Structure 1
Amino acid sequence: MAGDSNVTYLTLEGHVQLLKYRYVYFSITLALFILIICSNTIVLYLIYDDESLHEPMYIFIAALLSNALFGSIALYPKLLIDLLSETQTIARSACLLQSFFLYLYAGSEFTLLSAMAFDRYVSICRPLQYHSLVRTQIVKLILLLAWFLPACEIGIAIILTSRLQLCRFTLRRIACDNFSLVKSSCGDTRINNLYGLFILTISIFPYFIFIVFSYTKILIISLRNSKDFRRGALHTCLPHLVVFINFMVICVFEVIQNRIPSGIPHFVRSVASILYLVIPPLFNPVIYGFKMREISKRLKALLKLR
């Protein structure tokens, strides 16, 4: 649909029975958003406030939680507004911008999870080289690249999409994504599709292979050592591994259900399209808050549970 001043608007048609369950959806979404903001902020505060936690492992955890806040802010405010609105519309430029931020969150998440795997690999498999390989300058460079590289990759995809002419002005989604925008466009989209496949490949597989390699090496080293060594390695690696598997499964499911036609109900598709910004941001601070010993101790003290 076209709006004032030649601004192109899109209608988000992913909402199911919105008129009937509007306030139920709004209440649940608002509660999720508040929980995500509060839980991530609390763990971030604990890491920031305690200098003993200013180590690479905890800095990467803080970066992961900050990324969750960034992605949540890109999704939930607009979603909450839509749930209370009569029409769920968004300007095309705003839709492209939201797509960029949501994809940036996902791309940075994989990079940060890889950085955490690298930190644990060096710490456990090459402890004598840890302080030379994971020094402050390296950590800062990794954090810079964690957002800069995905921003460049996704920025190109968004620019390519912005050059296409729209044929349809509706998206069967509850939030914008670049893939749906390309499908709604006219003309030759082969370059967009090829570049999208390229980005998808380099944004997932290299990190996946590296993370699997790192934790496999950690497992091999742990099995060769004492029970205490294995217990310590499991204690520091298990939360990271759970977070990675959780995020990977959600992303793979989203990619499959988004690109392969199937009989999946529309409601399931709509919910699945935002799971990567529901489950990880909600459960990651819980996992790190209660499974990482140093953070857990400070969290219990903060909540006066001891």
Structure 2
Amino acid sequence: MSELTPGLKAPRSMGERIRRILIERGVLDRRKRIRSDGSHIYIPVLESIDPDALRGIADVEIVRMEFEEDRRRITVQEILGRKASFETIGDIAVVEDDEPERVADAIMAVHRGIRTVLTPISDVEGEFRLRRYRYVAGEMKTITVHREHGIRYKIDLERAYFSPRLSTERLRVAEQVRPGDLVVDMFAGVGPFSLLIAKRGARVIAIDKNPYAVKLLRENARMNRLDVEIREGDAAALTEDLAGQADHVVMNLPHSASIFLKEAIRTAKSGGVVHYYTFAPEDDLYRDVRIIEDKARELGCEAAHLYRGIVRSYAPRIYNVVIDFVVKKKTGSVQ
């Protein structure tokens, strides 16, 4: 027997007007087909419909009945009648919207694989770059397994930083690495740069100060059967034995990467590439080029810039940018 789901029974003459009202109020269940008989129309609505959503609609009755699935592929935007800001991490959706409950209903109606919807209640904050979340819908959890470029990552959103919006950027960097290269990931987190690069046959040293992120990084390396050297602690201290050795250095700490430039330049070999991430205003996106050049000169080196690009929008008129530069060391410069 098919599942009985809620719908509105109304006179056929009122059907189109009521359908439009339900769309505006975000309670029409677009997964189901509207039914009708000789005198009435039956319009499917979301299971979580609030009676207040029917305020001002006369001559309707809530019923439970069988509705056929609508096989057309619909979107969250179609259900809401507008765009909504959200991203998916594994089976968790993170919503940044003024109406998170309404958006959650639409997401769970469209994306059958989503089991939890959260909304952030803080910016990225603290030493470990974490956010706090409020539960909105589905299962009450913050742990998930996210798949990206053929690798699985166990993630706890409240205890270790992760952003799926860097997926393309991670692949761009990994594609520059050759088998046998030494890559130092100074702020590795749960390993999205490190493991993808290790999969390409590089030797990877992954460093992070957050003990829980390191725990997940170890689990993720085992889960994907990838060999990564993992170091827990401060990147400045844990790169002291790597001077002049790295073919690539990844600096994905955009809030404060400039503080560690000396260590990154020191770790890179002559001809090694540093991938440097920061936040910058729209009117001066690559202002940190000056900081990089000054630090290289201070260390008796040269920073030759290879690539500059916008990784993602971060806030109004603020962008997450990347600057790739080659370290050219002179005789007698810092090693």
Taking structure 1 as the reference length, the TM-score comes to 0.22
Is the strand fraction higher in 1 or 2? 2
Taking structure 2 as the reference length, the TM-score comes to 0.20
Is the helix fraction higher in 1 or 2? 1
